[in-house]
Structure 1
């Protein structure tokens, strides 16, 4: 059976159902990565090429996120981007988070002991917003069990609050979402996205979407010479003129990873997020139905991440049988993407039926 990704991916020697941990690289991306490494080894690369590829990756990601490239900053990790936002908050500000959300998003706010961190169940996030709230930070899709945040309800709750001074900002971690789920830009202010999962890129590629009206709200604390309006004139001493758009928040990127990521982003754009999402959800629904027939109770979620509580110990047994899934928070977590097929789902169910 042919997957949605088809010939874009290498034939697998095992059943890989672990995109929520690490996405597989498309063959075009792997070739670009190999070529970039070969070029670097033989002196065939240079800064002009690096920046051209970086601009292409930024633009390709912006199309997936449905925002202008001028709102996109590049970097290396979600935690670093979250820390940049956390540093912008005034002392005493309340940060509202979902219980047990991913630590890379949450911890940069938690280590600022002068902030008021308040955690509530994901399903109560919108109703927990109040006049005292300064910022809400949430993953669009929960890593541990695949539950999807109601960002529309969250935006409505934030917009309903009386404004006196600084607006309540919504920070969304899209790492487990972009690539299969559209996130309307009007539902968030900041978007953070590690791209090595559903966007199938190498590690070291993380992007930050900033608000159109960010102004001086966010200090470019991590900026170096690449954040200058003219990077090659910004190499020594304080940068005289920072970039006029989100590029002023750029970290010095891992260029080789971005050279490769451009090709993964392009593939997602060619197939389309909506089409990928329908495909992924169809496979996940097939697994949920089969798991329930086996007497298991997967966490309800409209997500390609399917978690079965209390079955985390089965991940090791599955691996021995050639099925790659993961254990998270006591759950067995299987995740389905465009390189998977119904045969993969059925193989997972077959092995589970023997445990």
Structure 2
């Protein structure tokens, strides 16, 4: 069996110090090859059946990472479309509880309804803020802006106690933080960050009974027999969560299949230990420099208040990080090393 280091070295060769996975993950070599092959198939006019097989293989791989049957996984383009389906299922006046300043793709569909009561509270108060009448708690497992982790066990317990459902956006954690897709009512995640896939693909875990969702976006691929559902209304929706699919971006799923297979081959537990270890090394170095990051223990994302203005300077020096609301955000993933951490710390000394 190949070692972690050998696998990573074979797949990644970044030209710069790349610490920005919270924005976009790097593509493994195998993923680049898979996308190129998919494009070539389109150019040559050969049958595209293998690309539809990639969609199902990617679905099955994500399902294994999430610990749920593939029949409970839908695939589309964005978490926002799944939030919209959930929002559409709620009765007028229902209360949706969210964390303050959570990512727009998660919270915006509930605001767009116009007739829901959307209440935002500080992340650390989310569980205690669930109350009688709360219909849904929607939260990112890891906050995009600063990497803080939601206390999901506490949120789930409070939601159960008050009869509310939970919806988790795992876009900033799936791939480095173990995912329990069976613990929440709804889970969504994009594939282009920590799962290392191309843009244009996302996953959704629905409950076994579909949670009262209507497949409002259903096209031909949402039929039980897709090729028999091409004309007129879909007469029979898929008996699985595929009823919530939209027509797949075949190039994206071809690449994402390869990326997910790499994550699965390495193992999320191994990636987690590696990523958090580097983030902790960065936190320790920041303390020595007199900087205090936003408290986010156990996270692979580190956000440093007041240093966001240095993002352009660091980029010119070949160090890729983000500026989020004035904070410098660094995100550590499997292709990063201790040398990357130390290079960023050395740059911040200047």
TM-score, structure 2 normalization: 0.97
Q: CA deviation at 1:294?
A: 0.6
1:51 matched to which residue of 2? 52
Is 2:33 the partner of 1:31? Answer: yes
Q: Give the 5 Å matches for 1:60-209.
A: 60-161=61-162, 167-209=163-205
Q: CA deviation at 1:153?
A: 0.5
Q: CA deviation at 1:193?
A: 0.4
Partner of residue 241 from structure 1, selected from 236, 242, 248? 236
Runs of 4+ in 1 over 3 A off after TM superposition: 2-5
In structure 2, the residue corresponding to 1:185 is in which secondary structure? Answer: coil
In structure 2, the residue corresponding to 1:114 is in which secondary structure? Answer: coil
Structure (1/2) with the larger helix percentage: 2
Is the 1:86–1:108 contact (alpha carbons within 8 Å) kept by the matching residues of 2? yes
Against the structure 1 CA distance between its residues 135 and 80, is the aligned structure 2 distance closer, same or farther, given a 3 Å change threshold?
Answer: same
1:330 matched to which residue of 2? 326
> In the TM superposition, what whole-angstrom CA distance separates every residue of 1:122-141 from its partner, at most 9, and x where no partner exists?
00000000111010100000
Against the structure 1 CA distance between its residues 44 and 113, is the aligned structure 2 distance closer, same or farther, given a 3 Å change threshold?
Answer: same
In structure 2, the residue corresponding to 1:135 is in which secondary structure? Answer: strand
* Pairs aligned (count): 346
Is the 2:38–2:51 contact (alpha carbons within 8 Å) kept by the matching residues of 1? no
Q: CA deviation at 1:186?
A: 4.0
In structure 1, the residue corresponding to 2:34 is in which secondary structure? Answer: helix
Is 2:270 the partner of 1:270? Answer: no
Against the structure 1 CA distance between its residues 5 and 147, is the aligned structure 2 distance closer, same or farther, given a 3 Å change threshold?
Answer: farther
1:164 matched to which residue of 2? none
1:281 matched to which residue of 2? 276
Q: CA deviation at 1:5?
A: 4.7
Partner of residue 13 from structure 1, selected from 9, 12, 15? 15
Is the 1:3–1:338 contact (alpha carbons within 8 Å) kept by the matching residues of 2? no
Q: Give the 5 Å matches for 1:297-312.
A: 297-301=292-296, 302-312=298-308
CA distance in 1, matches of 2:6, 2:178: 18
CA distance in 2, matches of 1:328, 1:8: 32
Q: CA deviation at 1:43?
A: 1.2
CA distance in 2, matches of 1:80, 1:158: 23
- Extract unaligned runs of 5+ from structure 2: none
Is the 2:167–2:185 contact (alpha carbons within 8 Å) kept by the matching residues of 1? yes
Q: CA deviation at 1:240?
A: 1.0
2:24 matched to which residue of 1? 22
Q: CA deviation at 1:4?
A: 7.2
Partner of residue 213 from structure 1, selected from 170, 193, 209? 209
In structure 1, the residue corresponding to 2:55 is in which secondary structure? Answer: helix
